[in-house]
């Protein structure tokens, strides 16, 4: 039998349903409008260059709108604010307005200033808000709501925990099973997070916080907020989000689209050199050395070393031999260097000077008085076009790509010795490798450094890209002409999304399509972004920071990380050390203190490990208990014991996700021991090394061989801390030898 309060709730849900259905109706109208406009734009043919470019812009704009309307379909409206004045606002993923009533707001975008009380108002500081309501929806259906009455004297206010906004909805969200994809937190952003999300665009903001405090979530919502608030400025230059590895980028990949933002480039530092995939592996010590700032000097010296000045070069020319001695070559080299242009650009000066020196010799031999200016010009031209002269210039001042420079440097201990006189012999030996070896992520900042110093002439490549883009548009046009659309084509039969598909079809036929800023940025090494967000920033090396800073001359950045979780030996130990070379003390530290992921029982274990990293570091406070005691089990053989432990944990979490986190050296062996295990985050069970588990989370985590993790790296304790804090519900530890003392809090099972 239902109680009167249940009945009241049902009535409320019905009335909310009516409103929410109206909002979806409005969304459908907008979708249809954009579809029609897109179809119209796509049907325009030919015209002047300007008309075509306007059409491209319209196509891009309407395609983006359509993508945004689809992206906000789930959870379109998630909140409501009732004010003491009687005003009422609904809060959602985008703003919707009533065109018939002077654009009265029907739904307030969560990023609008007026929506802020939804995240900040408290019973103590209600900001005029009487009630905050969190709506729960499934697809287009309202399935429930949670209310908070912001009255300091209410029983609810007395019971709610200090500092939490929308506690019931928040706890439901953090307790939900994980899906393998990070979700957005737009309905439950907490006050300390909101303040960071809405910090000014300018300058560097550092978000320091322990595991699970929402740093990644905050960084991504900040990207969405900045794009909303500074759309004009940022849409043109784009926003770059840098993450530690591609597994992590896949994990967070859906958050921004679900917030209606598709124009953000997600990348690892290793992917920032267009046209190159850095898949190679190398010893951690080599990668750490390549990450050191001294490598900038090594690259610069390596280039200078290629500008050779031998004592004599003889060049056969016109049945004679011309001679370049060291002084002539040094003079030409000096002139070229004094231009202060990048190596490949300064080459023109070098070549001119060499040709002048050779021409002077040739003219002197023929007899200056017998030649007029036209003859001398002819001689210079002949010299310029002469193969032997070209070969000599190429030897003395070669045209170098970053790849060739580094490949030839690493292949030659002699070259390394000249370029790196300040490194020890042992360090220099770490750099040597076979030519043709695959590029590694740590090579990328070095290639970038080299590209800066070498200079590149990419006009040809850009012209080619533009030609391809035009072909793409024409191809799509051809497809559309065949479709022969009528103006009033029934949207049910042929939606504009089909047209977009036709447009995108061009891509698959080898031509480029219209590109967003993010796409153009991905293909252009010299692109500079309007804002850069760096996640797991503690992992970046000094050379990687140099690359990123180059990509953002305005130094508008959000730097997100946790110094206590630094695992990479090239990584950071202090934010000041990382940032002051670029922005001195002009960076702002913000902190997150509440852990939304890891329950208190697991955090107590992790806190002991943190104390072993540095007793002064304070772990974040968990927002909840799970009721499950983290356990440990001593086994004789890890690979043999693993399947049963996996089966047990899988049964305990039902539909949730389980991760087995192992020392990198045992990854292959232990992955083979778990039936159906992969590194695909959508799978129910994944087996990962600690490095690849960074930033991720799972309902249950099995940490295997903690001593192995501790011993594997000088930052082993930080790695173990990361591994333990990936779980949202349950944690188990399997070990063969004595449990490390820092884990003594675990319950033997
Ligand atoms: N306000 C919030 N509402 C609901 N869930 C939240 C909130 N803040 C964080 N979370 C959830 O907590 C989990 C941890 O967040 P996130 O991954 O952003 O933390 P992090 O600080 O980056 O952690 P780590 O340093 O361990 O990578 C995620 O599932 C995230 O969705």
Rounded to whole angstroms, the Cα distance separating 720 from 733 reads 11
Q: Does 165 contact ligand 1 (Cβ within 6 A)?
A: no
567 marked ligand binding residue:
no
Atom index in ligand 1 nearest the CA of residue 211 equals 26
Q: Does 725 contact ligand 1 (Cβ within 6 A)?
A: yes
Rounded to whole angstroms, the Cα distance separating 67 from 112 reads 21
Reported residue count of the chain is: 749
Question: 658 pairs with which residues across the strands?
Answer: 685, 700
Q: Does 541 contact ligand 1 (Cβ within 6 A)?
A: no
pLDDT at site 366:
84
Q: Does 566 contact ligand 1 (Cβ within 6 A)?
A: no
Q: How high is the mean pLDDT in each 10-residue block of the chain (749 residues)? A: 76 96 96 92 77 81 87 94 95 93 91 94 90 95 93 63 80 87 93 95 93 95 94 88 92 89 89 89 94 97 96 89 95 96 94 95 86 90 94 96 96 97 97 95 97 76 67 60 48 45 48 62 88 93 96 95 77 85 91 95 96 90 94 96 95 94 94 85 92 92 97 91 96 96 95
Mind giving me the DSSP string for 124-136?
SS-TTEEEEEEEE
Q: How far is the CA of 214 from the centre of ligand 1 (A)?
A: 3
Mind giving me the DSSP string for 281-324?
---HHHHHHHTSTHHHHHHHHHHHHHS---SEEEEEETTEEEEE
Cβ-based neighbours of 462, under 8 Å, separated by 6 or more: none
Q: How far is the CA of 703 from the centre of ligand 1 (A)?
A: 21
Closest C-alpha to ligand 1, atom 4? 185
Closest C-alpha to ligand 1, atom 29? 597
Distances (CA, A) of 135 to 92, 148, 150, 154, 168: 10, 12, 17, 21, 11
Rounded to whole angstroms, the Cα distance separating 453 from 304 reads 10
Q: Does 697 contact ligand 1 (Cβ within 6 A)?
A: yes
Q: How far is the CA of 157 from the centre of ligand 1 (A)?
A: 25
What does the block give as tokens for 651?
């049964």
310 marked ligand binding residue:
no
DSSP-derived 3-state class of residue 586: coil
Atom index in ligand 1 nearest the CA of residue 184 equals 31
pLDDT at site 473:
60
Question: 701 pairs with which residues across the strands?
Answer: 659, 731
Q: Does 213 contact ligand 1 (Cβ within 6 A)?
A: yes
What does the block give as tokens for 565?
């979780």
Rounded to whole angstroms, the Cα distance separating 230 from 636 reads 59
Q: How far is the CA of 460 from the centre of ligand 1 (A)?
A: 45
Q: Does 598 contact ligand 1 (Cβ within 6 A)?
A: no
Q: Does 71 contact ligand 1 (Cβ within 6 A)?
A: no
Residue 640: count of CB within 10 angstroms of its CB: 10
Atom index in ligand 1 nearest the CA of residue 725 equals 26
Rounded to whole angstroms, the Cα distance separating 188 from 221 reads 12
Single pTM value for the model: 0.86
Q: How far is the CA of 111 from the centre of ligand 1 (A)?
A: 19
Q: Output helix, strand, coil percentages for the chain, rounded to the nearest 5.
A: 50, 15, 35
Instruction: Put residue 475 in one of left, alpha, beta given phi > 0 → left and psi -120 to 50 → alpha.
Output: alpha
Rounded to whole angstroms, the Cα distance separating 546 from 524 reads 17
732 CB-contact burial (10 Å; exposed 0-12 / middle 13-18 / buried 19+)? buried
What does the block give as tokens for 128?
């005029």
Q: How far is the CA of 191 from the centre of ligand 1 (A)?
A: 14
Pocket test for ligand 1, best of 161, 214, 254 (most atoms within 8 A of CB): 214
214 marked ligand binding residue:
yes
Cβ-based neighbours of 350, under 8 Å, separated by 6 or more: 307, 332, 333, 335, 336, 393, 396, 397
- Among residues 244, 241, 247, the alpha carbon closest in space to that of 265 is found at 241
Closest C-alpha to ligand 1, atom 27? 695
Question: 661 pairs with which residues across the strands?
Answer: 688, 703
- Among residues 121, 143, 263, 264, the alpha carbon closest in space to that of 189 is found at 121
- Among residues 115, 103, 113, 104, the alpha carbon closest in space to that of 77 is found at 115
- Among residues 332, 312, 316, the alpha carbon closest in space to that of 397 is found at 332
Q: Does 171 contact ligand 1 (Cβ within 6 A)?
A: no
Q: How far is the CA of 507 from the centre of ligand 1 (A)?
A: 36
How far from chain centre, in Å, is Cα 27? Answer: 30
Asked whether this complex has an ipTM greater than 0.90, the answer is yes
Closest C-alpha to ligand 1, atom 14? 212
Could you tell me if 572 and 578 are in contact, meaning their C-beta atoms sit under 8 angstroms apart?
A: yes
Q: How far is the CA of 265 from the centre of ligand 1 (A)?
A: 21
Q: Does 16 contact ligand 1 (Cβ within 6 A)?
A: no
Strands 239-242 and 264-267: parallel
Q: How far is the CA of 162 from the centre of ligand 1 (A)?
A: 19
What does the block give as tokens for 497?
């999304």
Q: Does 191 contact ligand 1 (Cβ within 6 A)?
A: no
Rounded to whole angstroms, the Cα distance separating 520 from 687 reads 35
Rounded to whole angstroms, the Cα distance separating 360 from 411 reads 39
In the block, residue with structure tokens 């010009």: 377
Q: Does 173 contact ligand 1 (Cβ within 6 A)?
A: yes
Residue 203: count of CB within 10 angstroms of its CB: 15
210 marked ligand binding residue:
yes
Could you tell me if 706 and 712 are in contact, meaning their C-beta atoms sit under 8 angstroms apart?
A: no
Q: How far is the CA of 623 from the centre of ligand 1 (A)?
A: 11
Q: Does 215 contact ligand 1 (Cβ within 6 A)?
A: yes
Q: How far is the CA of 563 from the centre of ligand 1 (A)?
A: 17
209 marked ligand binding residue:
yes
Q: How far is the CA of 523 from the centre of ligand 1 (A)?
A: 31
Could you tell me if 42 and 62 are in contact, meaning their C-beta atoms sit under 8 angstroms apart?
A: no
Handedness of CA 57, 59, 64, 65 (dihedral sign): positive
In the block, residue with structure tokens 């986190």: 661
Q: Does 699 contact ligand 1 (Cβ within 6 A)?
A: no
Closest C-alpha to ligand 1, atom 25? 211
Atom index in ligand 1 nearest the CA of residue 694 equals 27
Atom index in ligand 1 nearest the CA of residue 209 equals 21
Q: Between the CA atoms of 365, 370, 375 and 379, what dihedral angle is there, to the nearest 10 degrees?
A: 0
pLDDT at site 520:
81
Q: Does 597 contact ligand 1 (Cβ within 6 A)?
A: yes
pLDDT at site 497:
46
pLDDT at site 484:
46
Q: How far is the CA of 326 from the centre of ligand 1 (A)?
A: 64
Q: Does 166 contact ligand 1 (Cβ within 6 A)?
A: no
pLDDT at site 478:
60
Three-state DSSP string of 475-512: HHHHHHHHHCCCCCCCCCCCCHHHHHHHHHHHHHCCCC
Atom index in ligand 1 nearest the CA of residue 217 equals 18
Q: How far is the CA of 667 from the centre of ligand 1 (A)?
A: 26
Q: Sheet of 141-149: strands edge to edge?
A: 96-98, 104-109, 88-92, 77-83, 129-138, 141-149
Rounded to whole angstroms, the Cα distance separating 19 from 88 reads 12
Pocket test for ligand 1, best of 120, 212, 661 (most atoms within 8 A of CB): 212
pLDDT at site 678:
78
Rounded to whole angstroms, the Cα distance separating 574 from 545 reads 13
pLDDT at site 479:
53
Closest C-alpha to ligand 1, atom 24? 211
Q: What angle do CA 341, 345, 349 make, to 5 degrees?
A: 85
Q: How far is the CA of 597 from the centre of ligand 1 (A)?
A: 6
What does the block give as tokens for 108?
């307030």
pLDDT at site 332:
97
Instruction: Put residue 633 in one of left, alpha, beta given phi > 0 → left and psi -120 to 50 → alpha.
Output: beta
Could you tell me if 459 and 465 are in contact, meaning their C-beta atoms sit under 8 angstroms apart?
A: no
Rounded to whole angstroms, the Cα distance separating 604 from 600 reads 6
213 marked ligand binding residue:
yes
Closest C-alpha to ligand 1, atom 30? 214
Max CA-CA distance within the chain? 119
Rounded to whole angstroms, the Cα distance separating 348 from 327 reads 19
Rounded to whole angstroms, the Cα distance separating 479 from 481 reads 5
Rounded to whole angstroms, the Cα distance separating 254 from 275 reads 25
Closest C-alpha to ligand 1, atom 18? 214
Rounded to whole angstroms, the Cα distance separating 413 from 432 reads 6
What does the block give as tokens for 670?
């232990």
- Among residues 682, 740, 743, the alpha carbon closest in space to that of 178 is found at 682
Could you tell me if 259 and 71 are in contact, meaning their C-beta atoms sit under 8 angstroms apart?
A: yes
DSSP-derived 3-state class of residue 595: strand
418 marked ligand binding residue:
no
Atom index in ligand 1 nearest the CA of residue 562 equals 25
The H or E element that residue 523 is part of is helix 517-523
């Amino acid at each position: 039998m239902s109680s009167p309060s249940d009945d009241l709730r049902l009535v409320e849900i019905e009335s909310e349903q009516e409103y929410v259905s109206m909002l979806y109706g409005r969304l459908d109208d907008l979708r249809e409008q954009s579809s029609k406009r897109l179809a119209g734009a796509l049907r325009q043919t030919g015209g002047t260059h300007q008309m075509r470019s306007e059409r491209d812009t319209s196509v891009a704009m309407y395609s983006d709108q359509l993508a945004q309307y689809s992206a906000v379909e789930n959870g379109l409206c998630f909140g409501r604010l009732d004010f003491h004045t009687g005003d009422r606002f609904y809060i959602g993923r985008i703003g919707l307005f009533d065109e018939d009533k002077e654009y009265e707001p029907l739904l307030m975008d969560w990023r609008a200033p007026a929506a802020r009380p939804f995240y900040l108002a408290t019973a103590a500081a209600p900001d005029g808000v009487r009630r905050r309501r969190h709506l729960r929806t499934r697809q287009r259906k309202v399935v429930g709501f949670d209310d908070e009455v912001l009255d300091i004297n209410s029983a609810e206010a007395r019971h709610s925990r200090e500092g939490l906004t929308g506690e019931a909805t928040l706890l439901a969200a953090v307790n939900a099973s994980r899906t393998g994809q990070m979700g957005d937190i737009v309905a439950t952003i907490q006050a300390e997070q909101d303040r960071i999300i809405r910090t000014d665009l300018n300058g560097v903001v550092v978000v320091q916080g322990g595991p699970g405090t929402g740093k990644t979530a905050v960084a991504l919502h900040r990207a969405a907020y900045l794009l909303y608030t500074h759309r004009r400025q940022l849409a043109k230059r784009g926003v770059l989000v840098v993450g530690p590895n591609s597994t992590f980028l896949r994990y967070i990949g859906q958050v921004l689209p679900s917030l209606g933002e598709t124009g953000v480039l997600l990348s690892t530092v290793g992917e920032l050199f267009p046209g190159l995939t850095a898949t190679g592996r190398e010893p951690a010590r080599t990668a750490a050395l390549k990450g050191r700032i001294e490598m900038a000097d090594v690259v610069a010296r390596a280039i200078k070393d290629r500008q050779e000045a031998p004592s004599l070069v003889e060049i056969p020319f016109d049945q004679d031999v011309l001679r370049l001695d060291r002084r002539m070559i040094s003079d030409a080299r000096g002139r070229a260097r004094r231009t202060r242009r990048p190596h490949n650009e300064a080459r023109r000066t070098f070549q001119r000077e060499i040709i002048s020196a050779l021409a002077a010799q040739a003219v002197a031999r023929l007899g200056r008085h017998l030649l007029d200016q036209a003859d001398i010009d002819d001689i210079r031209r002949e010299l310029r076009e002469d193969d032997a002269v070209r070969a000599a210039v190429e030897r003395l001042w070669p045209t170098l790509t970053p790849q060739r420079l580094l490949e030839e440097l690493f292949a030659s201990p002699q070259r390394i010795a000249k370029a790196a006189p300040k490194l020890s012999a042992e360090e220099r030996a770490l750099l040597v490798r076979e030519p043709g070896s695959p590029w590694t992520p740590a090579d990328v900042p070095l290639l970038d450094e080299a590209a800066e110093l070498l200079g590149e002439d990419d006009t040809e490549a850009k012209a080619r890209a533009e030609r391809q883009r035009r072909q793409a548009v024409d191809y799509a046009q051809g497809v559309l002409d065949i479709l022969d659309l009528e103006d009033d084509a029934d949207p049910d039969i042929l939606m504009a999304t089909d047209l977009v598909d036709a447009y995108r079809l061009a891509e698959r036929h080898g031509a480029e399509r219209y590109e967003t800023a993010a796409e153009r940025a991905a293909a252009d090494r010299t692109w500079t972004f309007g804002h850069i967000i760096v996640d797991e920033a503690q992992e970046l090396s000094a050379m990687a920071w140099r690359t990123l800073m180059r990509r953002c001359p305005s130094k508008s950045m959000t730097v997100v990380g946790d110094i206590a979780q630094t695992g990479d030996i090239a990584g950071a130990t202090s934010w000041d050390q990382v940032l002051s070379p670029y922005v001195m003390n002009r960076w702002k530290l913000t902190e997150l203190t509440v852990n939304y992921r890891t329950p208190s029982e697991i955090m107590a274990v992790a806190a002991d490990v943190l104390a072993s990293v540095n007793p002064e570091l304070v772990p974040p406070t968990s927002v909840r208990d799970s009721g499950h005691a983290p356990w440990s089990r001593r086994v004789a053989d890890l690979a043999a014991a693993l399947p049963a432990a996996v089966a047990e944990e899988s049964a305990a979490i039902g539909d949730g996700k389980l991760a087995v986190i192992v020392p990198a050296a045992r990854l292959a062996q232990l992955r083979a021991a778990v039936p159906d295990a992969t590194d695909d985050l959508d799978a129910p069970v994944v087996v990962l090394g600690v490095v690849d588990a960074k930033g991720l989370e799972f309902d249950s985590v099995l940490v295997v061989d903690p001593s192995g993790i501790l011993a594997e790296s000088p930052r082993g304790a930080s790695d173990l801390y990361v591994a333990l804090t990936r779980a949202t519900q349950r944690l188990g530890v399997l070990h063969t030898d004595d449990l490390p003392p820092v884990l003594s809090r675990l319950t033997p099972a």
